[in-house]
Amino acid sequence: MLMDFFSLDLTTITDTEAIIRLAPIVCQWYQYGMIGGESDLTAQRHQMVAEQIEGRGIEDTAVLQAMRAVPREHFILPQYRPHAYDDTPLPIPAGQTISQPYVVALMISQLDLTPNDKVLEIGAGSGYAAALLGQIARVVHTVERSSELVDYARQRLIGLGCNNVHVHLGDGSQGWPDYAPYDAIIVAAGGPKLPSALSQQLVVGGRLVMPVGRRRRKQKLIRVSRLRVDKFSRINLGPVAFVPLVGEAGWREEE
């Protein structure tokens, strides 16, 4: 019945009373993306990449292709679907947010990923960034401390067929040593310092991008490269504001 209704050309309904009764229902379905939205959202996604990502200086072809391919609306709560391609964070379960698309693209582009890379992500959140990473790299391991978000991310990644992305429950400030070392590490939460466990889980030649700052919700985005076993370089990519990295090598829960 629903599919039959969705296939109707609503402009052919001429009965005034029927139109009045259907109007609020149809508006709600449009709002939640249940009808008439997929082609619009695809167009919005391509426009967002052109204007907010490529238009702001991101040139990495693999990142741009991944951003065009992965539907952000799949990773957000239904009521926020109309805002899926606004360049802004949006709420997800467990009181967390999905980061703004430009910041996600910037961080991934700074990893200089290749198709053979093994990537560690700290802070799976909704799974959106992991899906993007999985479009570029060979395998992605993502660690999340919230069991609610682990389930949420897994369901959405499975729904998109992201078979090279693996979600783990744990303390991300300790990395994920079971599959170390990694060619690249990306951290989607801000810590007071770079956890040594993360830098030590990089291969020589590996890259790490993370927000770091002494204030709980105000950081600088840094890019770290492992030049030798005992030598690292660091550059500052600018100010950011991420949720705190909570864990043994991050902030305490109550801080």
Catalytic residues: 99
The DSSP code for 196 is: H
Q: Which residues pair with 237 in a beta bridge?
A: none
Pairing of strands 231-240, 218-228: antiparallel
Residues 6+ apart with CB under 8 A from 238: 220, 221
| 97 neighbors 89 (Cβ within 8 angstroms) | yes
CA-angle at 249, arms to 245 and 252, nearest 5°: 60
Query: How many CB atoms sit inside 10 A of residue 159's CB?
Result: 11
Q: Which residues pair with 225 in a beta bridge?
A: 207, 233
Give the pair of three-digit tokens for residue 123.
């802070």
